[in-house]
Structure 1
Amino acid sequence: MTPTNGTGTHGAVLQDTEPEDGSAVVELRNAGKAYGNIRALHGVNLTVRPGQVTCVLGDNGAGKSTLIKIISGLHQHTEGEFLVDNTPVRFTTPRDALDKGIATVYQDLATVPLMPVWRNFFLGSEMTRGPWPLRRLDIEKMKKTADHELREMGIVLDDLEQPIGTLSGGQRQCVAIARAVYFGARVLILDEPTAALGVKQSGVVLKYIAAARDRGLGVIFITHNPHHAYMVGDHFSVLRLGTMELSASREQVSLEELTNHMAGGTELAALKHELAQVRGVDVEELPEEEDLTAPVATAPEGSA
C-alpha cells in the first residue's frame, strides 16, 4: 500500500493508506450530507475492514451522528460515494443496511427493560415452532441459543430470566453486541457505548469490542473519548465541524496527538496568549500551534 498525504479543512494532516482491493467491507469516498443549505458532512473518507476497529472521534456537532445515519441506512448521502463490498449502494431504510450485514447498536440499546434477557436477545426476530395457525414461540430454543451466544462472547449470566433492566449498563451493551453478532453482522456500529458508563463498566465494553474484532467483524467505534478509542482502535478518524480533521492508523498517531486533535488543540494553542492574561492559569504546558499542525509521523514499513 502506498501512503498518501492530504490536508484537512482545518489544516490538519490526513495521512493514510489506500485501501487494498477487495479488503474493505464498507467504504466512504468524499461522502457528505446536506440538509438544504446546511452542510452537515463534507468530504469524508472512511474505510472499514474485517477484523479491525475503526474509531470515529469528534466533539458534539462534529458530524458523528450524521455519519452513523448514512452508514446505517437512516439517511442517504448527498455527495460522494458509499460502497459495500466495493459496490456503490444507496440505502433507503435501515433494513437495507441490515441485509448487507451492517448492524448499529445505539446508546438507548433498543431494549425493553422489563423483559427477560433472552427475550430481548431475540426481540423482533423470535424463534417459533409448529405449523400455522398453531405456531408458537420456541422459548427453550431461544434461551439455549441466547445463553450459548453470550458465552461465545465471554458473557456469562446466571439467570437469563432476569429483566434486562436489572443488568449494568456495560452488561446491556455486551448483550446488544452479542445479539448483533448472532444475527449476522459483518460491520458493527457502536454509538458512544461507553459514554454513560464508569471506568470498570467501560472496560467491560471495550473487552467485548475487542472480542467482536477478533471474531472477524469490522467495528466502527463512535466515541468522544480518545483514551477508550486508543485502547482498542486500529484506525482513527477525527471529525470536526463535519469534515475530517485527522485520518491515521495506530502506527501513525500517538495517544497525545489523537487527544490534541480531538480536543481542538489548534484553537487552544491560538488562545494561549489570551489564557496567559488570566491570573492563576499556567500556560507553559499548553502546545504551540505549530506543534499541532505538523504532519503526523509515519511508522516505518514493517513496524508493528
Structure 2
Amino acid sequence: MADKGTGTADAVRPETPPGDGGAALVELRGAGKSYGNVRALHDVSLAVRPGRVTCVLGDNGAGKSTLIKIISGLHQHSEGELLVDGTAVRFSTPREALARGIATVYQDLATVPLMPVWRNFFLGSEMTRGPWPVRRLDIARMKRTADDELRNMGIVLDDLDRPIGTLSGGQRQSVAIARAVHFGARVLILDEPTAALGVKQSGVVLKYMAAARDRGLGVIFITHNPHHAYMVGDHFSVLRLGTLELSADRGEIGLEELTDHMAGGVELAALKHELAQVRGVDVQRLPEAEDLGSSAPASPEEAS
C-alpha cells in the first residue's frame, strides 16, 4: 500500500472531511448506458454526499462524459437507477436536473468572452426592474450581487465590467463555480476544470472547489489527473472502458496506488511476465496484480 499523504495534498485537503457523511444527494446504482450495440457505461454505482468531493477518474473513452450526461439530464440511463434524495428519477432535460439542484460546469464554461463578468454571472437569468412591459435590466443590483457572491467564495475582482475573456482560465472557472452556487446548486459537476490550465491556475480552481465543498455542496470532480484529485478528493472512482474498476475512500488508497490505476497498472501487472521478455522494460518497478485489488484481469496463462 502506498503512502497515503503528501505535503502538497495536505496543503489543500484537510485530514477531516467537512461533510457529515449524511444521505446521498445523488446516487447511481448499477447504472449503464448503451447507444445501439455500443455499451458506453455498465454497472456503475456512485454516491455523492454533501460536503464531500467525489472524484471520477479515467482515460479517454473510459465513460466519464457519459456518466456526466446521465446525472446532468442530457441523456437517460438505459440500465440501473439514478436517485436524487433517495427517490428514483429519470431526467428528460438538463433543466429538470438543474431544478433539482444539479449544476454542471463544462470545460467551455458557457460564457461569452466579450461580455463583462457581471453579465456572464447572470447570463440567462438577468435581474430586471420596472413595470411590465417596459422592464429593464437592474444592472446595479446584478453587479452588487455578483460581487457579493464572488467574495463569499473568496474571489475578489477589482473590475466586474472587464470582459470575462480577459480573465485567466482559473479565474473564469472560479466565476463559473460561484455562479452555480449562487443559483442554488446542491450538486456541482466539474468537467475536467484543470485540464487546460497551468500549475498555478489549477491550484486556484482546486481552492475554490474546496470552498464549494466547505459550503456543503456535493462535488463531482471529473479528471484524468490523479494528483489534482488526491489534493481535494474524499472518494475516488476510476472508470475503465465503461466499467467501475476502483471505488475507494481517501483513507483506503494512497496517491501512488491511485496513479497506478489511472496509468493502467492493472493491465501492466497482468502482463508482467510478457513484458519481462521485452528489452528495455524494467518489470521490477511494476506493481503486482494483487497489490492493485481484486479487479485486476487474469493473466494470459490464467485465462487459457
The residue number in structure 2 matching 1:113 is 113
Alignment of 1:108-147 (within 5 A): 108-147=108-147
Alignment of 1:90-239 (within 5 A): 90-239=90-239
For the pair 1:66 / 2:79, whether they are aligned, the reply is no
Question: C-alpha distance in 1, partners of 2:34/2:287?
Answer: 34
The CA RMSD over aligned residues, in Å, is 1.7
Question: C-alpha distance in 2, partners of 1:85/1:239?
Answer: 24
Question: C-alpha distance in 2, partners of 1:71/1:174?
Answer: 22
The residue number in structure 1 matching 2:302 is none
Question: C-alpha distance in 2, partners of 1:263/1:136?
Answer: 54
Unaligned stretches of 5+ in structure 2? 1-19, 296-304
Residue 65 of structure 1, CA deviation: 0.2
Question: C-alpha distance in 2, partners of 1:81/1:146?
Answer: 37
Which SS does the other structure have where 1:174 is aligned?
Answer: helix
Residue 277 of structure 1, CA deviation: 4.3
- Cα separation, partners in 2 of 1:293 and 1:24, compared to 1, 3 Å: closer
Which SS does the other structure have where 2:284 is aligned?
Answer: coil
CA contact (8 A) 1:126 1:137 kept: yes
Tell me the TM-score normalised to structure 2 length: 0.88
CA contact (8 A) 2:28 2:81 kept: yes
1:201 maps to amino acid: Q
CA contact (8 A) 2:21 2:50 kept: no
Which SS does the other structure have where 2:283 is aligned?
Answer: coil
Question: C-alpha distance in 1, partners of 2:121/2:24?
Answer: 29
Question: C-alpha distance in 2, partners of 1:294/1:46?
Answer: 19
1:266 maps to amino acid: V
2:190 maps to amino acid: L
CA contact (8 A) 1:22 1:86 kept: no
Residue 287 of structure 1, CA deviation: 1.4
The residue number in structure 1 matching 2:7 is none
Residue 255 of structure 1, CA deviation: 1.0
Question: C-alpha distance in 1, partners of 2:152/2:112?
Answer: 23
The residue number in structure 2 matching 1:50 is 50
The residue number in structure 1 matching 2:267 is 267
CA contact (8 A) 1:190 1:219 kept: yes
1:34 maps to amino acid: S
Residue 22 of structure 1, CA deviation: 6.7
User: Number of residues paired by the alignment?
Assistant: 277
The residue number in structure 1 matching 2:79 is 79
* Partner deviation per Cα, 1:216-239 (whole Å, 9 max, x = no partner): 000000001111101100111111
CA contact (8 A) 1:22 1:85 kept: no
Which SS does the other structure have where 2:285 is aligned?
Answer: coil
* Partner deviation per Cα, 1:200-255 (whole Å, 9 max, x = no partner): 11011000010000000000000011111011001111111111101111111111
Tell me the TM-score normalised to structure 1 length: 0.88
CA contact (8 A) 2:22 2:50 kept: no
